[in-house]
Chains A and B, each alone.
Chain A
């Protein structure tokens, strides 16, 4: 069964029918937002059932759209959280990626600014590595990007997409060895992105990120995960009552190869480790469970089939 990421937008009226339908299809609801009278669902549903969902949602004035980044957690790395970079461009990029379904976390580096003085601490590096992909929002000068890039890529194991003021070709030329993706013409700016050519740049980011994520998906498919992270999310929501007390909008974040559970590690890790996925198979058998560097959350990374020898 191939699961495809979609976004459903519709009214509150009878939306529970859509929730039930997605669950009956064997799909997973990753995020559910209720904004006034509107419901936005980000879900993974079986590819062959999209038409059924569209048919059912039509009388409810619901809209089903593909959302390539559902089920990914992306780090938007800003060189600082000062007025120079906030709210534009950092928030604009983070917000736009959310419309494509991604769960974005903005990471403002403590000492990321400057070409010679820019630094990446070990904590920042570890937090970035917990994500599926990192977008680096650099400035406008190629000299600076060229000089600071080696510092900022040191120890980063996730694919990096670089955004900067110079053209894409220039970025490709100055960054050596190459990174996973490049977006030119989007460096530091201090105005809101609302002109068509600026929105086109943001679309370009979604496109580039989707391309890189697809490549990563292909890599994962070659040695599939022992359990899909979305199913893991469902199991945790079912078996850990404390998760429903968490006030965070997304208490269990689905990543491409794991989940982030927003519960403290020490009191809950042992309980989560012992949860049974299927007869005789515990979460600990198919996942690495470790404390996240982000607050004291729990991070589950699913082991591949080659390591566990099972697919559940």
Chain B
């Protein structure tokens, strides 16, 4: 866990806390979140019981547009995309079919897509068309990994992710309507340590 700037697992039971530190470390490594996380603090109080995880992610990747994954050339009413990165190709095709219609979109080979537009191709603004939002997947991955780390009986959960700051609170009992004080306290401890 050396690449995390701050990583702490705190518990009212020190032995359990240490063991959970190892669990958290394994899960984060297994889920490939080391590059994404900058700081992480987990607090577990089994007597309440409550599990609070707060963290800060590194620079959140921006929305991926067509120009990020393909070279674009215009020829009258025809747009030709030369695919450089296939990762989001399936998503891209779905979006293109939706915007231009299946008849207008063809894929003569694996790395080429041709689109016939009704107006001037160059003014279609295709280069800024959003294909994928990595933050959505990132948030899901983060929350999933927190669910795996937290004790299994803690089935009542609340989570939030905003501006690179996330928190996850779970308990076996009902959670208070407003968990902000719990979360804020952990954020405060984390920030004070830096």
Q: Could you tell me the distance between the alpha carbons of A113 and B44 in the complex, rounded to whole angstroms?
A: 16
CB atoms of B172 and A114 under 8 A apart: yes
Residues of A within 8 A of B11 (CB): 141
Interface string of B181-192 (1 = CB under 8 A from A): 000000000000
Residues of B within 8 A of A170 (CB): 15
Residues of A within 8 A of B26 (CB): 189-191
CB of A36 closer than 8 Å to a CB of B: no
Q: A166-B16, A187-B19, A189-B22 are in contact. Are A116 and B148 (CB under 8 A)?
A: no
CB atoms of A140 and B27 under 8 A apart: no
Q: Which of B13, B16, B22, B148 makes the CB contact (< 8 A) with A84?
A: B148
Q: Which of B19, B154, B155, B173 makes the CB contact (< 8 A) with A165?
A: B19
- Chain A proximity of B14: nearest CB distance (Å): 10
Q: Which of B15, B19, B30, B151 makes the CB contact (< 8 A) with A144?
A: B151
Residues of B within 8 A of A80 (CB): 152
Q: A113-B152, A117-B153, A139-B151 are in contact. Are A166 and B46 (CB under 8 A)?
A: no
Q: A82-B152, A141-B13 are in contact. Are A115 and B172 (CB under 8 A)?
A: yes
CB atoms of A165 and B152 under 8 A apart: no
CB of A83 closer than 8 Å to a CB of B: yes
Report the interface size class on chain B. Answer: 20 to 34
CB atoms of B20 and A140 under 8 A apart: yes
Interface string of B142-175 (1 = CB under 8 A from A): 0000001001111100000000000000001100
Q: Identify which of A141, A143, A187, A191 gathers the most chain B CB atoms within 10 Å of its CB.
A: A141
Residues of A within 8 A of B194 (CB): none
CB atoms of B46 and A143 under 8 A apart: yes
Report the interface size class on chain A. Answer: 20 to 34
CB of A85 closer than 8 Å to a CB of B: yes
* Closest chain A residue to B172, Cβ basis: A114
Q: A118-B153, A166-B16 are in contact. Are A189 and B23 (CB under 8 A)?
A: yes
Residues of B within 8 A of A113 (CB): 151-153
Residues of A within 8 A of B99 (CB): none
Q: Could you tell me the distance between the alpha carbons of A144 and B11 in the complex, rounded to whole angstroms?
A: 13
CB of B49 closer than 8 Å to a CB of A: yes
CB of B2 closer than 8 Å to a CB of A: no
CB of A188 closer than 8 Å to a CB of B: yes
CB of A29 closer than 8 Å to a CB of B: no
Which residues of A136-177 have CB atoms within 8 Å of chain B's CB atoms? Answer: 139-144, 165-167, 170
Main DSSP-derived SS at the A contact region: loop
CB atoms of B152 and A140 under 8 A apart: no
Q: Could you tell me the distance between the alpha carbons of A187 and B155 in the complex, rounded to whole angstroms?
A: 20
Residues of A within 8 A of B13 (CB): 140-143, 166
CB of B47 closer than 8 Å to a CB of A: yes
Which residues of B1-53 have CB atoms within 8 Å of chain A's CB atoms? Answer: 11, 13, 15-16, 19-20, 22-23, 26-27, 30, 44, 46-47, 49
Q: Which of B15, B152, B172 makes the CB contact (< 8 A) with A79?
A: B152
CB atoms of B152 and A166 under 8 A apart: no
Interface string of A55-97 (1 = CB under 8 A from B): 0000000000000000000000001101111000000000000
Q: Could you tell me the distance between the alpha carbons of A82 and B27 in the complex, rounded to whole angstroms?
A: 14
CB atoms of B19 and A115 under 8 A apart: no
Q: Could you tell me the distance between the alpha carbons of A156 and B26 in the complex, rounded to whole angstroms?
A: 35
CB atoms of A85 and B152 under 8 A apart: yes
- Chain A proximity of B29: nearest CB distance (Å): 9
* Closest chain B residue to A148, Cβ basis: B153
Q: Could you tell me the distance between the alpha carbons of A165 and B46 in the complex, rounded to whole angstroms?
A: 13
- Chain B proximity of A40: nearest CB distance (Å): 32
Q: Could you tell me the distance between the alpha carbons of A247 and B141 in the complex, rounded to whole angstroms?
A: 41
Q: Could you tell me the distance between the alpha carbons of A118 and B153 in the complex, rounded to whole angstroms?
A: 8
- Chain B proximity of A56: nearest CB distance (Å): 47
CB atoms of B172 and A188 under 8 A apart: no
Pick 7 A–B contacts, CB within 8 A, sort by A. A114-B153, A116-B153, A116-B172, A116-B173, A141-B46, A166-B13, A166-B15
Residues on B close to A: CB < 8 A? 11, 13, 15-16, 19-20, 22-23, 26-27, 30, 44, 46-47, 49, 148, 151-155, 172-173
Contacts beyond the supplied A80-B152, A141-B13, A143-B49: 13 A-B pairs with Cβ under 8 Å = A114-B154, A115-B172, A116-B153, A116-B173, A117-B153, A139-B16, A140-B15, A141-B46, A142-B15, A142-B16, A143-B46, A166-B15, A190-B26
3 shortest A-B CB distances, which residue pairs? A114-B153, A141-B46, A113-B152
